[in-house]
A and B are shown apart, each in its own frame.
Chain A
Amino acid sequence: MTMLEARGLTKRYGKHVAVKDLNLQLKKNECIALLGPNGAGKTTTLHMLAGLITPTDGMIMSDKKVLIKDKIGFLPQYPTFFDWMYPKEYLMLAGTLSGMTKKTLKERSLHVLEMTGLLEAQKRKIGAFSGGMKQRLGLAQAIMHQPKILLLDEPVSALDPAGRIDVMNILENLKKDMAILFSTHVLHDAEQICDKALIMKSGQSISYENMKEWKGNRQRKRYRLETSDPLQIEGLQKLYKEIDIKESQKIIGTLRHNVTPNMLLQYCIQQDIGIQYFGAEEKNLEEHYIEVMEG
Chain B
Amino acid sequence: MKRFNALFHKEWIEAWREKKLVWLPAVILLVTLLQPISLYFMPTILENSNSLPPGAVIELPIPSGAEVLAGTLSQLHTIGTAIIVLACMNVIVQERNNGSLMQLFSRPVNTTTYIFSKWTMLVLLHLGAFTISYGAAWYYTNALFSDVSFTSVWKSFVIYCLWIVLVITVTLFVSTFLRRSGGVAGISILIVASIAILSTVMPDIAIYLPSNILNLATEVLNTEKGTVHMGAVLATTIAFIAILLLTMVKKFEKSVKF
Contacts and interface: CB of A to CB of B under 8 A. Distances in A.
Interface of A: 47, 50-54, 68-70, 72, 74, 76, 78-82, 84-85, 89, 93-94, 96-99, 141
B97 to A, nearest CB: 10
11 contacts: A47-B258, A52-B105, A52-B258, A68-B108, A74-B103, A82-B10, A82-B14, A84-B14, A84-B18, A93-B10, A97-B109
Contacts of A99: 2, 108
Contacts of B3: 96-97
B99 interface: yes
Which of A47, A50, A68, A96 gathers most chain B CB within 10 Å? A96
A257 to B, nearest CB: 55
Contacts of A98: 107-108
Given A68-B108, A98-B108, A52 B2 contact: no
Given A47-B258, A53-B258, A93-B10, A80 B107 contact: no
Contacts of B105: 52
B156 to A, nearest CB: 37
B124 interface: no
If over half of A's interface residues share one DSSP class (helix, strand or loop), that class is named, otherwise mixed; here it is loop
Size class of the B contact interface (CB-based, 8 Å): 20 to 34
A179 B115 CA distance: 33
B258 to A, nearest CB: 6
Contacts of B107: 69, 94, 97-98
Nearest to A102: B2
B228 interface: no
A52 B14 contact: no
A69 B2 contact: no
If over half of B's interface residues share one DSSP class (helix, strand or loop), that class is named, otherwise mixed; here it is helix
Contacts of A89: 13
Contacts of A141: 103
Which of B99, B106, B257 gathers most chain A CB within 10 Å? B106
A78 B7 CA distance: 22
B168 to A, nearest CB: 21
B103 A79 contact: yes
B102 A52 contact: yes
Nearest to B100: A80
Contacts of B109: 97
Contacts of A81: 100, 103
Contacts of B108: 68-70, 97-99
Q: Which 10 A-B pairs have the closest CB atoms?
A: A80-B99, A74-B106, A96-B6, A84-B17, A69-B108, A97-B107, A80-B100, A98-B107, A80-B98, A50-B106
Contacts of A78: 99
Nearest to A84: B17
B104 interface: yes
Contacts of A54: 257
A147 to B, nearest CB: 10
Contacts of A84: 13-14, 17-18
